[in-house]
Structure 1
Amino acid sequence: MNFFEKITGSDMTKKMKSFEARASNLPPEYQAAWEEIKRNLWLHADFTGRNLMPILNSALELLEVTSADGQSVEEVLGNDIKGFCAALVGDEGAKNYRDKWREQLNKNVLKKLGGL
């Protein structure tokens, strides 16, 4: 990855387009699960989202393999896709970007108020 790709995020755009092309080959119920997985995983992204690329790739590979085996989405992911995504990123209590920003904002406000 060169400097221009890192600054503009074009490398991530290419990866996401390739993920979407692969996901379009999945059965409809798997495509719906993929959309829900993406929605839930982006909550745990850092500012750029680069930390999620390997996780998204692994989740998509899981969907591809299990759909080829003829398993249903419920057999693979269960009924709790949000819980599945939390397990992928670490833990149910994993901090997302909102938590990090809230914590930083609270620190800055406390600092401006003189440490009250």
Structure 2
Amino acid sequence: MGIQDIIEGKKQWRAHMARVKALPRDYQIVYKEIQRYFFKVGPVELLDGSLLSGILDFFEEGVATGKGVLELIGNDVAAFCDELIKDSRTFADIYQESMGNSPGSQRGPDA
């Protein structure tokens, strides 16, 4: 990754965050909670930027139709996020695989 790629990435991120700031306050709060959740859980799709951009598009459509953010996602932000990434690999999955433990295995640290 060269310096130009880094600069372009920052420009894209700033443009993305400007779109977030243009949302109504309740949408902004929920978006930031979703973002925080995904940064914590670490779905691999975060790297290409399409996951957060897709959510932002979805939120902008909701605003355009006059719906409240909770009408779109429900009352449980974590459940909404989990549903979006239910079939996705996470960085935790990759780490477990590298350590020789598959995500669903019964092996513990003493096995």
Give the conservation status (yes or no) of the 8 Å contact 1:40–1:82.
yes
2:50 equivalent to 1:54: yes
| Aligned-residue offset at 1:18 | 1.2
Aligned residues: 101
Q: 1:105 aligns with which of 99, 103, 109?
A: 99
TM-score by length of 1: 0.70
* Moved >4 Å (runs of 4+): none
Taking only aligned residues, the RMSD between alpha carbons, in angstroms, comes to: 2.6
TM-score by length of 2: 0.73
Change (3 A) 1:97 1:10: farther
Q: Which runs of 5+ in 2 are unaligned?
A: 102-110
Higher helix share: 1
Identity percentage over the alignment? 25
Q: 1:21 aligns with which of 7, 18, 34?
A: 18
Change (3 A) 1:49 1:11: farther
Q: Which runs of 5+ in 1 are unaligned?
A: 108-115
Q: State the match for 2:76 in structure 1.
A: 80
| Aligned-residue offset at 1:15 | 2.2
Question: How far, CA to CA, are the matches of 1:71 and 1:99 in structure 2?
Answer: 36
* Secondary structure at 2:99 match in 1: helix
